[in-house]
Amino acid sequence: MMSLRSKALALVEVLLRVPPLFVVDEFLKISLGLPVSTGEEVPILSPVTTDIDINENEANYYDANFYNAFVFTLLKFFVCCLGCMSALCIFVLYTKHLIIVYLYLMSIGLVFISYWTNVSAIKQIQSLTVAATSAHHSTSILEDILNLNIKNLLDLEGPGILVIQNFAIQFLLAVLFRNVHLGPRNSTIQKLLPMSFMAPSFLAMLPVPPNLLHHSPVFSTLLPLFLAKYVLWSSGYEVAQVIYAGYQHGRLFISHNGLSALVETEWMRLNVPCVLRVFWVMRVAEHAILLLMDNYDDDADEGLKVTALLAVQSLASLAKTLLVTGCETITAVLGMTSVISFFCHYIGNFFQWILLTEEEEDKSIGTVSAILFYILALQTGLTSLNPEKRFIRLCRNFCLLFTALLHFLHNIVNPMLMSLSASRNPSTHRHVRALGVCAFLIMFPISLLAYLWSQHTISTWLLAVSAFSVEVIVKVVVSLMIYSLFLIDANRTTFWEQLDDYVYYIRAFGNTIEFCFGIFLFFNGAWILLFESGGAIRAVMMCIHAYFNIWCEARAGWSVFMKRRTAVNKINSLREASADQLLRLDDVCAICYQEMHSAKITRCNHFFHGMCLRKWLYVQDRCPLCHDILYKIDNKDNNSEAGNEENSNNQNLLLEEEPDLLLNEGVR
């Protein structure tokens, strides 16, 4: 029961933070008050009309209009920015302060609702009274009450029923206002509040001048508005204290833990992903209801029902419209990003369930997908496109996101393949699950490419999706080949010395293909930036791609290649153990503990497998047994032929003392 109560409170807290996002969204819909280009052509004066003289009055008139329009636009922009900042400040408040803000706003809202209902009721009562007077059969409402004339009071076309309805509405509003207002709870004021709300209804029953009755709704709001203003004036110092305390807390937190820790803490406290999801779902539901109501109203004259509407307007077109309107502002894109993150998280959990793994690092698929989708939305200018182009761009972004998810799934299944292939007694069903995921990662990109190339003409976007899809296929094939080699090695009874060479060549091939695709995607992005759709975000992403995926990968690959080549030359310079020496030694390699059918002899007369010694050289340059330097230049011993040969080989090799990469990492 406590758990259910906690969930209910968490849901309420999420719902309390949704309205500020709707406020920000409305301001963004109008572009913060800035003028938006509609694409209409501006008329240009022809050469004939340019010779017409414009008098001074007309010039001043146009200048004044331009100045007034500029000032008005600037004022609208300032008000919209102020509204957005206020909404965001309300969004980050603690729950207790958020409730206070909502109570105050609710009290203001009740006052305005009371005013408009009073105005509407008084107008209708006056119009009915005038009509009855002109018909010479009118009686006042007070006379009907005193005479207990129930028939006239309950007449649906008479003013009596309106007064009774307004009495009930104003009494209900007064009770709500008494309970939610934050002003002083003085007993006299609390008793006067219902009288203040219902005063116009009382006056409507009396024979008062029409002018007084007309202005009575204004006077009825004076007392509740005074309470609301008193609360605003009296709480100004407390508001300033709350703002200053929040500033002090943030400054101290940043000084002790850093800005990223503050953002992460506030992100968790505000439950931002859940709030964004609820906001987007409510926003889409609102658009869906409005869309259905508009279409129903259009078809009402023809006698069509909702079922006929669904027959005319398919669910696919409805979904298309909702997707387009669901990403028309930055806040809407954030909400859609959170929803996509939610689904991608459960997709990752589904594949983890298939693979029977629960690695914490693999659970970040939702976060990675959200970041990728939001970057794609900003990079492609999703919110600035017209509806038709926006839908096309949204579908293309989804395709890119799906291919990125395939890469992430490969990162989940690849370590499992390596661990399964290294185990000697594996469970068969785990192999089948991992291989089934690999089959999906091969078949799905192939099917996607076949569909896209059959339905679309060649374009930069299609080339990018194709490159990502082929890249994931190559990565899966490389993983399967290494998996097969490790399985063969696990079932061998003798040491397979060439295994690491084969693994290196396969990984080098795969990483080279990925590097080539990285260069291709860079040039593809450069073409888009220069000739299709430029932008600062795209340029920044291209620079990041060029540095991390091209330059860093090339430097790391070349470093591993040079270290491997140097290590190979080192090992080749050592003496090869003869069969008699191995027979007399009758021992295992001290690195891998496997029998030695071939071995290398170090300077300190220790025997090791050549491949094991090469791996050891990637870690350090000293003997695993005696810690003597395995390879050093000796200029003093020039009489021995072996010493001369070893010295000449050492002069041709320059190797770092302690390389930090292992052979099994490949050229990455």
The single-letter code of the amino acid at 432 is: V
Mean pLDDT of the region 13-24: 93
With a CB cutoff of 8 Å and minimum separation 6, the contacts of 194 are 170, 171, 174, 175, 178
pLDDT at 141: 61
Q: What are the φ and ψ backbone dihedral angles of 645, each rounded to 5 degrees? A: -65, -40
Give the pair of three-digit tokens for residue 368.
């990675």
Give the pair of three-digit tokens for residue 472.
């994931």
Rounded Cα gap, residues 65 and 397, in angstroms? 44
Q: Vertex 11, ends 264 and 4: CA angle to 5°?
A: 115
Token look-up 């010779």 returns 51
Q: What percent of the chain has pLDDT over 70?
A: 80
Burial of 555 (0-12, 13-18, 19+ CB in 10 A): exposed
DSSP secondary structure letters along 36-86: ----PPPP---TTGGGS---HHHHHHHHHHHHHHHHHHHHHHHHHHHHHHH
pLDDT classification of 137: cutoffs 50, 70, 90: low
Between 277 and 293, name the one with better pLDDT.
277
What are the tens digits of pLDDT across the range 376-410? 998 888 888 888 899 999 999 999 999 999 999 99
pLDDT at 316: 77
35: helix, coil or strand?
Answer: coil
What are the tens digits of pLDDT across the range 291-306? 877 765 555 444 444 4
Mean pLDDT of the region 547-561: 87
The closest of 180, 261, 195 to 227, measured between CA atoms, is 180
CB 6 within 8 A of CB 46: no
pLDDT reading at 478 higher than 70: yes
Q: How many residues does the chain have?
A: 668
CB 560 within 8 A of CB 538: no
Give the pair of three-digit tokens for residue 44.
């240009």
pLDDT at 337: 95
Burial of 386 (0-12, 13-18, 19+ CB in 10 A): exposed
Rounded Cα gap, residues 359 and 608, in angstroms? 37
CB 306 within 8 A of CB 52: no
**Partners of 622 in the beta sheet?**
629
What are the tens digits of pLDDT across the range 155-199? 556 666 777 788 889 999 999 999 988 888 888 888 888 889 988
CB 667 within 8 A of CB 510: no
pLDDT reading at 467 higher than 90: yes
**Partners of 600 in the beta sheet?**
576, 608
What are the tens digits of pLDDT across the range 569-609? 777 778 888 888 888 887 888 888 777 878 888 878 888 88
Token look-up 């097969």 returns 484
Rounded Cα gap, residues 667 and 266, in angstroms? 41
The single-letter code of the amino acid at 487 is: L
Give the pair of three-digit tokens for residue 462.
């299609």
457: helix, coil or strand?
Answer: coil
pLDDT at 174: 92
For the chain, the first-to-last Cα distance in angstroms comes to 53
pLDDT classification of 530: cutoffs 50, 70, 90: confident
- Give the mean pLDDT of the chain: 80
